[in-house]
Structure 1
Amino acid sequence: MTDIALHMADAADLLFDLALTGGQLKTDDGLRTAIAISLFTDARAADDDALPEGGADRRGWWGDVVPPIEGDTIGSRLWLLRRSKMTATVVQRAREYAAEALAWLTADRIASTVEVEAEAQHPDRLAIGVIITRPGGPERQRFDFVWSAIA
């Protein structure tokens, strides 16, 4: 699996940019870019999700309107937590949303296990750690994302 590599350009606003090396697009033969896209692309809110600030936009990636495989969607509902006060419930919900967004890794047999950790790291910072175990053996990779988008 090879992707165009992304790097987090602005953690506060969750902005990513294409990574370059020597004037060329850098590639990522691991899972970092796929995980970043899964976590930080806005999934459509469920019908019973409370929308931030009383909005009406349920968001979602436009390509999910007609997915190639029924029910196969991209993104996470982490965006729903953006204006939430950092509580144990919000941290648990972030972990659940992240696990939901990464479930495709085991469904598509890219990983044999996916473990998600979430932790409050100041009043306004959330850290998510993702540990992937590949099906070919004991290779484990850890990916860490910290941002201060929750305030």
Structure 2
Amino acid sequence: MTDVRLSWNNETQTVDLVMAGPDLATDDGLETAVIMSLGTDAPAGSDDKIPDGSDDGRGWWGDAFHDAAGDVDGSQYWLLSREKLTSEALLKARNYAEKALAWLVTDLVASKVTVTVELWGDEGAIAVIQILKPDGNLAGKYTFIWKAMA
């Protein structure tokens, strides 16, 4: 399936559309799917502490159109926006990424998704995501740096 190509900029911490001359570039791989999965806000759980102290549990409006009740897209990375860089926060980040990308295996797009999250200097965390195709070959390896966790 072809998507409009998105690009994550580790330096500016932003996502942007990619241009191909005067047209939008397309992505037949998984990079855009991974960016959307990690960059879209999944709703907070009932026991999650909202970082800004409000009662805004976020979520994505597109979840209203899922066939299965309770199906949600995105990650809960946004819950880490005010967390200190601890081993517990890194574990949460890895768990949030694994949960956000689990659909790749469920939908048979991938046979395995491996996520590692480590400290990135004093400024944040780095997530490395490796995705294997159903045939076992590497589908892609993606690296994202989150400075906002610092």
Which category describes the TM-score, using the shorter chain as reference length?
over 0.9
**What are the ranges of 5 or more consecutive residues in structure 1 without an aligned counterpart?**
none
Residue 110 (structure 2) aligns with = 111
TM-score (norm 2): 0.93
CA contact under 8 A between 2:131 and 2:141: conserved in structure 1? yes
SS at the partner of 1:52?
coil
CA contact under 8 A between 1:92 and 1:118: conserved in structure 2? yes
Residue 3 (structure 1) aligns with = 3
RMSD of aligned alpha carbons = 1.5
Residue 54 (structure 1) aligns with = 53
TM-score (norm 1): 0.92
Query: How far off its partner does 1:122 sit?
Result: 1.8
Residue 63 (structure 2) aligns with = 64
Residues in 1 aligned to 2:144 and 2:69: alpha-carbon distance in whole angstroms: 29
Deviations 1:30-65 (A, max 9, x none): 100000000011100000111103221100001213
Residues in 1 aligned to 2:54 and 2:46: alpha-carbon distance in whole angstroms: 13
Residues in 2 aligned to 1:123 and 1:46: alpha-carbon distance in whole angstroms: 29
Correspondences of 1:89-108 after superposition (within 5 Å): 89-108=88-107
AA aligned to 2:35 is A
Residues in 2 aligned to 1:62 and 1:131: alpha-carbon distance in whole angstroms: 28
Residue 126 (structure 2) aligns with = 127
**What are the ranges of 5 or more consecutive residues in structure 2 without an aligned counterpart?**
none
Alignment coverage as a number of residue pairs: 150
